[in-house]
Amino acid sequence: LTVPKPKSIIANGTVYLDHGPEPVDLLIANGEIAEIGKRSSFPSDIPVVDATGFVVLPGMIDFHVHLDDTIGGRYLADTYLSGSKAAVLNGITTLFSFVTQAQGSSLRQAVAVAQSKVCGKSYCDVGFHLTPITFSDGDWDDIQSFIGGGYRTFKFYTTYKAAGLYQSYAALRELLKRFEKLNARVLVHCEDEMILAASPSQSQNVSDPISHTFIRPPAAEIEAIYQVAKLASETGARVHIVHVSTASGARIIQEKRSEADLSCETAPHYLWLNDSVLHGQPGQRYLCSPPLRDEQNRSELEMLAADGAIDIFATDHCAFSAADKNESTTDIRNVPNGIAGIGALVPLMHELIMTQQHTDWSELVLRLSKRPAELAGVYPRKGSIRIGADADLVLLSDTGAARPIRSSYSDSPEPYPKRTTTLDMRYVFVRGELIVKDNQLVQPERPTGQVLWPI
Ligand SMILES: [Zn+2]
């Protein structure tokens, strides 16, 4: 049984089309944008959403989240249900999470498991970045069929040897050559395993969270970015560096762009927080990898972001329960690494882009919608308001009543406890269905998000 999707008209708003804002009306039908023009030319029997005073943006995308998964031996605090709630209440309509092949099992099985965690349990649409760990002929057949089905992004690590995820630069070079031929983008977590192994953890007081910054020093990231950027240029592969935390790393990427297909992201916590929060025990709630850096680095990274050196902002949302984060320990290396961020992404980046950098909604759309959609290979189905695109739409203003930023609906410690936002999410549509009205879920019991490329 297929239930016909509701039709609606969005009228009187300022609509951010690909080339900029226009005072046009939208007709939504079958979950897509069916017409762009004047309301008077649309059929008269369709319900109208009045967007007077609001901007109408394509749905925002969080390109990097971890949900409903075990990481470092502990279960994450957020499921797709709670994570997508924090997302969609803040204008995010598509999430990209990670699927890693398990030891002794296939990537296909891992995707099937992840898919079952999303179906009927997410308010947002969900795409997956895939991490294969074995590469037999059969595994490559699987990878090719995933690519045929729409998957475009694969993720590898230059660290995490103990977890079985590490790829040497030589191994990575071979993977890049192969994925270059397959028209897929390779995401890389850049921290140099050798530098990490040589870091002076023995001489540190590992009961103090600040020691994390010595255990995972900036040099590890900078060296790995340098090596991976070189591989990108040598192989011609499309390479995306995840969660860049160092200004020097971002500069290397900026310099290599002319000769390599390189892109990168940073996370709000590297732009809004510095390592001063790590001193003393409350600091362990801010442990993440790569670690928060010093204030000089933070401010340089912010300037680079303003300069366009960072393609997209994505959260690396990886929330652990308050109990897991605050567990008393004499060795902070046992604290799970990761912090919440989904619900903070749009409010924080809105403030940075519009209030501090004095640019406009177009820049927000570029960094949080269009560009992530391009990198994931889903543009213009996502990330664009045009005829035929999914009707993922956010009608918002930034003159609402101040409300607290809420990164997660789990009990994970809030990284931005004193911050508020005036973003007013008046209406959020996912594929033409109204999911949020007046900053509230319309039907909390009915999560209708879909996997972008079901298998
Ligand atoms: Zn991550």
Cα(39) to ligand 1 centroid in Å equals 43
Cα(436) to ligand 1 centroid in Å equals 27
Cα(186) to ligand 1 centroid in Å equals 14
- 3-class SS of residue 115: helix
Cα(130) to ligand 1 centroid in Å equals 12
Cα(65) to ligand 1 centroid in Å equals 6
Cα(240) to ligand 1 centroid in Å equals 13
Cα(99) to ligand 1 centroid in Å equals 11
Cα(198) to ligand 1 centroid in Å equals 23
* Spans in the chain with pLDDT lower than 50: none
User: Which pLDDT score is estimated for 114?
Assistant: 98
How distant, in Å, are the alpha carbons of 7, 47, 125 from that of 4? 9, 15, 19
User: Which pLDDT score is estimated for 231?
Assistant: 98
Cα(268) to ligand 1 centroid in Å equals 13
User: Which pLDDT score is estimated for 330?
Assistant: 85
Cα(153) to ligand 1 centroid in Å equals 14
Cα(242) to ligand 1 centroid in Å equals 8
Cα(69) to ligand 1 centroid in Å equals 12
Cα(64) to ligand 1 centroid in Å equals 6
User: Which pLDDT score is estimated for 202?
Assistant: 63
C-beta of residue 318 within 8 angstroms of C-beta of residue 335: no
Cα(26) to ligand 1 centroid in Å equals 36
Cα(425) to ligand 1 centroid in Å equals 27
Distance in angstroms (rounded) separating the CA atoms of residues 170 and 442: 51
User: Which pLDDT score is estimated for 215?
Assistant: 92
Cα(68) to ligand 1 centroid in Å equals 13
Query: Residue 268, preceding bond cis, omega within 30 degrees?
Result: no
User: Which pLDDT score is estimated for 204?
Assistant: 74
User: Which pLDDT score is estimated for 200?
Assistant: 73
C-beta of residue 103 within 8 angstroms of C-beta of residue 133: yes
User: Which pLDDT score is estimated for 355?
Assistant: 85
C-beta of residue 48 within 8 angstroms of C-beta of residue 12: no
Cα(155) to ligand 1 centroid in Å equals 10
Cα(28) to ligand 1 centroid in Å equals 35
Cα(52) to ligand 1 centroid in Å equals 38
Distance in angstroms (rounded) separating the CA atoms of residues 28 and 131: 36
Q: First vs last Cα of the chain: how many Å apart?
A: 21
User: Which pLDDT score is estimated for 357?
Assistant: 82
Distance in angstroms (rounded) separating the CA atoms of residues 449 and 95: 10
What one-character DSSP code corresponds to residue 451? B
Cα(273) to ligand 1 centroid in Å equals 17
Cα(154) to ligand 1 centroid in Å equals 13
How distant, in Å, are the alpha carbons of 142, 431, 438, 451 from that of 29? 35, 9, 22, 20
Cα(267) to ligand 1 centroid in Å equals 10
Cα(318) to ligand 1 centroid in Å equals 7
Cα(166) to ligand 1 centroid in Å equals 14
C-beta of residue 387 within 8 angstroms of C-beta of residue 34: yes
- 3-class SS of residue 254: helix
